[in-house]
Amino acid sequence: MHTAAPVPAASAGGPAPDWAERTATLLEAVRARGPLVHCITNTVVQNVTANVLLALGASAAMVDVVTEAGPFARVADALLVNTGTPHAEPRAAALEAAVAAVEAGTPWVLDPVAVGSLPVRTALARDLLALHPTVLRGNASEVLAVLGASAGGRGVDSTVGTDDARHAAQDASDGRRVAAVAVSGPVDLLVAPGIGAVRVANGTELLTRITGGGCALGAVVAAFTAVSPGDAGAAAVAATAVHTIAAELAAREAGGPGTFQPLFLDRLASLSPEDVVREARITVEAPAVAA
Amino acid sequence: MHTAAPVPAASAGGPAPDWAERTATLLEAVRARGPLVHCITNTVVQNVTANVLLALGASAAMVDVVTEAGPFARVADALLVNTGTPHAEPRAAALEAAVAAVEAGTPWVLDPVAVGSLPVRTALARDLLALHPTVLRGNASEVLAVLGASAGGRGVDSTVGTDDARHAAQDASDGRRVAAVAVSGPVDLLVAPGIGAVRVANGTELLTRITGGGCALGAVVAAFTAVSPGDAGAAAVAATAVHTIAAELAAREAGGPGTFQPLFLDRLASLSPEDVVREARITVEAPAVAA
Amino acid sequence: MHTAAPVPAASAGGPAPDWAERTATLLEAVRARGPLVHCITNTVVQNVTANVLLALGASAAMVDVVTEAGPFARVADALLVNTGTPHAEPRAAALEAAVAAVEAGTPWVLDPVAVGSLPVRTALARDLLALHPTVLRGNASEVLAVLGASAGGRGVDSTVGTDDARHAAQDASDGRRVAAVAVSGPVDLLVAPGIGAVRVANGTELLTRITGGGCALGAVVAAFTAVSPGDAGAAAVAATAVHTIAAELAAREAGGPGTFQPLFLDRLASLSPEDVVREARITVEAPAVAA
Do residues A52 and A267 make contact, with C-beta atoms less than 8 angstroms apart? no
| Cβ contacts of A123 within 8 Å, gap of 6 or more | none
How far is it, in rounded angstroms, from Cα B111 to Cα A264?
A: 30
Is-contact C50 A44, C-beta < 8 A?
Answer: yes
C150 is in an annotated binding site: no
Split at pLDDT 50, 70, 90, the class of A160 is confident
Q: Is C210 on the interface with A (CB under 8 A)?
A: no
Contact A36 B154 (CB under 8 A): yes
Residue A11, pLDDT above cutoff 50: no
Would you call A253 an interface residue with chain B, using a CB distance cutoff of 8 Å?
no
Helices A17-33 and A232-253: angle between axes, nearest 10 degrees: 90
* B279 shares contact with chain C (CB less than 8 Å): no
Give the nearest chain B residue to C119 (CA atoms): B68
Q: Do residues A40 and A82 touch, judged by C-beta distance below 8 A?
A: yes
Given an 8 Å threshold on Cβ–Cβ distance, is A265 in contact with B255?
no
What per-residue confidence (pLDDT) applies to A282?
A: 97
pLDDT of residue C160: 86
Contact C185, C153 (CB under 8 A): no
In sequence order, which ranges of chain A are alpha helices (DSSP H)?
A: 17-33, 46-56, 69-75, 88-104, 119-129, 140-146, 166-174, 213-225, 232-253, 257-270, 273-279
Q: In angstroms, what separates the C-alpha of A54 from chain B's closest C-alpha?
A: 5
The reply to whether B272 touches chain C by the CB within 8 Å rule is no
% of chain C at pLDDT higher than 90:
86
Give the closest of B62, B75, B266 to C259, CB-based. B266
A216 CB-near residues (< 8 Å, 6+ apart) = A45, A48, A49, A52, A53, A243
Distance (Å, whole) CA B177 – CA B108: 13
Is some CB atom of chain B closer than 8 A to the CB atom of A157?
no
What does the alpha-carbon distance between residue B280 and residue B146 come to, in Å, rounded to a whole number? 29
Contact B81, B74 (CB under 8 A): no
Confidence band for A194, pLDDT divided at 50, 70 and 90: confident
Provide the sign of the torsion angle of the four alpha carbons C140, C142, C143, C145, taken in this order. positive
Largest Cα–Cα distance of chain C, in whole Å? 50
Asked if residue A247 lies in contact with residue A264, where contact means CB atoms within 8 angstroms, the answer is yes
Contact C214, C141 (CB under 8 A): no
Mind listing the pLDDT tens digit for each residue in C54-80? 999 999 999 999 999 999 999 999 999
CB C245 within 8 A of CB C271: yes
Question: How much is the pLDDT for C216?
Answer: 98
Residue B149, pLDDT score: 78
pLDDT, one tens digit per residue, over C156-190 is 667 788 989 999 999 999 999 999 999 999 999 99
pLDDT higher than 60, residue A17: no
CA–CA–CA angle A67, A68, A72 (5° rounding): 130
Q: Is the pLDDT of residue C289 over 60?
A: no
Which residues of B make up each annotated binding site for ATP?
137, 184
Say what the pLDDT of residue B286 is.
Answer: 59
**What are the tens digits of pLDDT across the range A181-192?**
999 999 999 999
Q: Which residues pair with C183 in a beta bridge?
A: C138, C189
Residue C6 has pLDDT above 80, yes or no: no
- Work out the average pLDDT over C107-122: 96
Asked if residue C62 belongs to a known ligand binding site, the reply is: yes
pLDDT tens by residue, chain B, 291 residues: 333 333 343 444 454 449 999 999 999 999 999 999 999 999 999 999 999 999 999 999 999 999 999 999 999 999 999 999 999 999 999 999 999 999 999 999 999 999 998 999 999 999 999 999 999 999 999 999 999 877 555 566 677 889 899 999 999 999 999 999 999 999 999 999 989 999 999 999 999 999 999 999 999 999 999 999 999 999 999 999 999 999 999 999 999 999 999 999 999 999 999 999 999 999 998 555 444
The predicted model gives C256-283 an average pLDDT of 98
8-state DSSP, B254: -
Q: What is the pLDDT of residues C134-146, one digit of tens each?
A: 999 999 999 999 9
Torsion, Cα C11 C12 C17 C18, to 10 degrees, reads: 50
Residue B247 region by backbone torsions, left for phi larger than 0, else alpha for psi between -120 and 50, else beta: alpha
Is pLDDT at A150 greater than 80 in this prediction? no
All structural domains of chain A, each given as residue ranges with its CATH number in brackets, are 17-285 (3.40.1190.20)
The number of beta carbons lying within 10 Å of the beta carbon of residue A283 is: 18
- Asked whether the ipTM of the predicted complex exceeds the cut of 0.90, the reply is yes
C97, HSE (Cβ side, Cα atoms, 13 Å): 35
Q: Which residue has the higher pLDDT, A285 or A152?
A: A285
CB atoms within 10 A of CB B15: 13
pTM of the complete model: 0.93
Per-residue pLDDT of C209-235, as tens digits, reads: 999 999 999 999 999 999 999 999 999
Compare all CA atoms of chain A with the CA of B119 and give the residue at the minimum distance: A68
Measured between alpha carbons, how far is B210 from A146 in angstroms, rounded to an integer? 33
Q: What is the pLDDT of residue C12?
A: 45
Residues of chain C contacting A157 with CB distance shorter than 8 Å: 59
pLDDT tens per residue, range A46-86? 999 999 999 999 999 999 999 999 999 999 999 999 999 99
C1 labeled part of a ligand binding site: no
Give dist(CA B13, CA B270) in Å, integer. 31
Mutate to test the interface with B, among A54, A260, A263, A264 (most CBs of B within 10 A): A54
Interface subset of C 22-81, CB within 8 angstroms of A? 36, 43, 46-47, 50-51, 54-55, 59-68, 71-72, 75-76
pLDDT of res. A7: 37
How many whole angstroms separate alpha carbon C195 and alpha carbon C190?
Answer: 9
Cβ partners under 8 Å of residue A229, min gap 6: A2, A5, A107
Probe site for chain B from A37, A206, A265, A270 (most B CB atoms < 10 A): A265
- Residue A13 or residue A175, greater confidence: A175
**How many helices (DSSP H) and strands (DSSP E) are in chain A?**
11, 9
